[in-house]
Structure 1
Amino acid sequence: MCASALVSSTRRLSAVLGSALVLGPRRPIIDLSYSSHFMDYGGSAIPPTMRKLVVRALSPRFGDAVHVDTCPVPTPGDAELLVRNRFVGINASDINYSAGRYDPSRKPPFDAGFEGIGEVVGLGLSASARFAVGDAVAYFGEGAFAEYTVVPAEKTVCVPSVKPEFLTLLLSGATAYIALRRLGDLAAGQTVLVTAAAGGTGQFAVQFAKKAGCHVVGTCSSDEKAGFLKTIGCDRPINYKKEDLGSVLRREYPAGIDLVYESVGGDVFDVAINSLATHGRLIVIGFISGYQSDLGIAPVRSAALSAKLLVKSASIRGFFLPHFLADYREAMETMLRMCSSGQLVCEVDHGDLAPGGRFVGLESVFRAVDYMYAGKNIGKVVVEVAPAVNSKL
């Protein structure tokens, strides 16, 4: 029965019974003719309220900008899914978002978080053509830092299971895969430098460059990270806390670097530009060294940049994932196959060695962001929002 028919029928019944039946305040109505099939009330015990992280003030200091709010659990629309988030991913860009840098016209409050993975616990009628309650799905979009998120069905990806390893592919893996494929012009025998190579996206850039037959150099900040990089195929890890990056590149790679996958900015960007080979390319996927500043950008000293590019016929290319969404589905399908078959390492850092321990619960997102910006993580930083639930449906 539709909402209007239900109200009309109730009013007729009220006229018959007189004052014995009084209509209450109007509220959104779930179509009960199919809700038992499309809302997993018994299996997941959907509560009336939930918690989510909301940007209340614009600031590059995540803890100052974001607060935990309690609100009703939303009901999915016709073409939407209600996802119970099991894991959410932490990204360097979370701070840019909370600072209002992606869309200056948008004013607080707005929801935080970009990527999540979990189970479908509710869905609209048309969404049921492709999905069912209990399906494991991953997505990237606004509002992931929440216990439940409503996501357009067309923007979700079915995954084999709710494993955090699959979550690493959504932004970090896809950025490396698409950037290198579309902008990298990789060829066997080339030398590739990956900065922040042991991080969430760096780990994938190392592996994809290696699979293309390249010699891979990766920067990192500890011997533990250097050891990890060797396990995923990095030919020359450089712990910049012990070795000078510029000196190593000049001494060991005098012909220069063919491709740089750059996410640090500042001094590292300067060194990378000076180290480019003839026809060298540098892909900018970020500049994390400046994100926590008020400007959001770390100063560079690449004087006469145009001359440096000219004399080497070199180039700088920017990559922002939302501009390459036409490539996204193919990238995800390929990476999911590789991950499932063991051809791709998807390293997850749950924060077991972080102050305060493992990142569990929505509030630990704040610790996880600080942990990543302290440069402690190996792989993708992931927060476990909720434990597994065995559905009764």
Structure 2
Amino acid sequence: MGSSYRKIVCNGYTRNFRAAAEIVEVPRTSPAPGQVLIRNHFGGVNASDVNIAAGVYFSDGTFPFDLGCESIGEVIEVGEGISHLAVGDYVVSPSLGSAYAELIYRDALQVLKVPTCSPEVMTAVVCGSTASVGLNSVGQMGSGETVLITAAAGGVGSWCVQLAKLAGNHVIGTCSTEEKAVELRRLGCDRVIVYRNEDLGAVLSTEYPNGIDLVFEQVGEQTFDTCVDNIAQRGRIVICGFISEYTTGPKPVTSPRIYHKLLWKSAQLRAFLFSHWPDELPGHIVANLALVESGAVDPLVDRRVFSGLEQVVNAVEYLHAGGNSGKVVIRYP
């Protein structure tokens, strides 16, 4: 390997990811004491990449900063004072700035050793933890409930579908195409709503007149409003995101405040970022990795191949165009 490597950085806030992303070459150095140097094999593409580039969260205004979220790769050099990791070990790095770089330097205590290096294993850490923290810690999911997952065919959504089914629930999933619906049925979704073909509100009000016990909401706008209208008595709406407004910014609305709809049902809104549950994350990650290893969860990874840093922007735009079924991944040669 050469004396330098490349990564993608952001030099100014914008919701236009193509304008934000810049490939730069930086010198390769030896890892500091307590650090490991990792050669990435796969990087995770996330809808929130746009929010990070826009400075919506996870940025203190210092430029440039590294873009991307999670990655999985191989330790190629170990700094002094490290005994639990060795050259050749596979590790997942869940921290910001990991996905869009050929090499990354990380504190050895901030990466997780895993038995194999694959996109499926990588999904257990961020996608899986987002799903399990959201459903269990935040949503207090039980068994025998009716659970609605919006954007169910995405990386997080497909994890939610499977976790909700494993818990013994009736699972409804929304998606945009029949091709995605096929995947969701394969994963065990009881009722798939292709929203381009069916009206979400009409289906929920007709087929589920008692309402939805737990909603895992990722879309926003009209989808969110429909979820509120169809929540059950004592139901919970867990807000994981609102991808419909990521590239445009917040959209003003003029309507009665939401408590007019929630109070009479004793319903609740609960928003979360999984990183705000640091005390619970290790347990979630270990459990999710075990589910993948045992075959109880089949992580859905999108079939389209994006290779190298040059394809990162295309991959982010592909995700936001709704083309993916499952986790979108960057593969490093």
TM-score, structure 2 length as denominator? Answer: 0.97
Which residue in the other structure is 2:261 paired with? Answer: 308
Deviation at 1:349, TM superposition (A): 1.2
Which residue in the other structure is 2:301 paired with? Answer: 348
Distance 1:266 1:300 in 2: 9
Deviation at 1:298, TM superposition (A): 4.5
Preserved contact between residue 350 and residue 382 of structure 1 (Cα < 8 Å): no
* Structure 2 counterpart SS, 1:382: strand
Deviation at 1:337, TM superposition (A): 1.1
Which residue in the other structure is 2:95 paired with? Answer: 141
Which residue in the other structure is 1:71 paired with? Answer: 26
Q: Of 364, 369, 373, which aligns to 2:316?
A: 369
User: Quick one: structure 1 residues 273 and 58, their matched pair in 2 at CA, closer, same or farther if it must change by over 3 Å?
Assistant: same
Q: Of 359, 371, 377, which aligns to 2:306?
A: 359
* Structure 1 counterpart SS, 2:155: coil
Preserved contact between residue 58 and residue 100 of structure 1 (Cα < 8 Å): yes
- Return the index of the structure with the highest Cα Rg: 1
Preserved contact between residue 125 and residue 288 of structure 2 (Cα < 8 Å): no
Whether 1:336 aligns to 2:276 is: no
Distance 1:77 1:159 in 2: 22
* Structure 1 counterpart SS, 2:234: strand
Deviation at 1:275, TM superposition (A): 0.5
Which residue in the other structure is 1:214 paired with? Answer: 169
Which residue in the other structure is 2:274 paired with? Answer: 321
Structure 1 gaps of 5+ residues are 1-45, 352-357, 387-393
Preserved contact between residue 79 and residue 152 of structure 1 (Cα < 8 Å): yes
Identical pairs, percent:
42
Q: For residues 17-75 of structure 1, give each alpha carbon's deviation from its aligned partner in whole angstroms, at most 9, with x where no partner exists.
A: xxxxxxxxxxxxxxxxxxxxxxxxxxxxx310111001022111100011100111242
Q: Of 201, 205, 227, which aligns to 1:272?
A: 227
Matched AA of 1:111:
D
Deviation at 1:299, TM superposition (A): 4.7
After TM superposition, the structure 1 = structure 2 runs for residues 49-64 of structure 1, keeping only pairs within 5 Å, are 49-64=4-19
Preserved contact between residue 124 and residue 292 of structure 2 (Cα < 8 Å): no
After TM superposition, the structure 1 = structure 2 runs for residues 55-204 of structure 1, keeping only pairs within 5 Å, are 55-103=10-58, 105-127=60-82, 129-144=83-98, 145-204=100-159
Deviation at 1:170, TM superposition (A): 2.0
Q: CA RMSD in A?
A: 1.2
Q: For residues 225-260 of structure 1, give each alpha carbon's deviation from its aligned partner in whole angstroms, at most 9, with x where no partner exists.
A: 111000111100000000000000000000000000
Which segment drifts farther, 104-113 or 88-97?
A: 104-113
Matched AA of 2:302:
D
Distance 1:275 1:328 in 2: 31
Aligned residues: 332
User: Quick one: structure 1 residues 350 and 228, their matched pair in 2 at CA, closer, same or farther if it must change by over 3 Å?
Assistant: closer
Distance 2:58 2:325 in 1: 30
Preserved contact between residue 266 and residue 299 of structure 1 (Cα < 8 Å): no
Q: Of 301, 325, 328, which aligns to 1:378?
A: 325
User: Quick one: structure 1 residues 122 and 328, their matched pair in 2 at CA, closer, same or farther if it must change by over 3 Å?
Assistant: same
After TM superposition, the structure 1 = structure 2 runs for residues 216-235 of structure 1, keeping only pairs within 5 Å, are 216-235=171-190
* Structure 1 counterpart SS, 2:296: coil
Distance 1:304 1:199 in 2: 30
Distance 2:251 2:115 in 1: 40
Preserved contact between residue 289 and residue 298 of structure 1 (Cα < 8 Å): no
User: Quick one: structure 1 residues 75 and 302, their matched pair in 2 at CA, closer, same or farther if it must change by over 3 Å?
Assistant: farther
TM-score, structure 1 length as denominator? Answer: 0.82
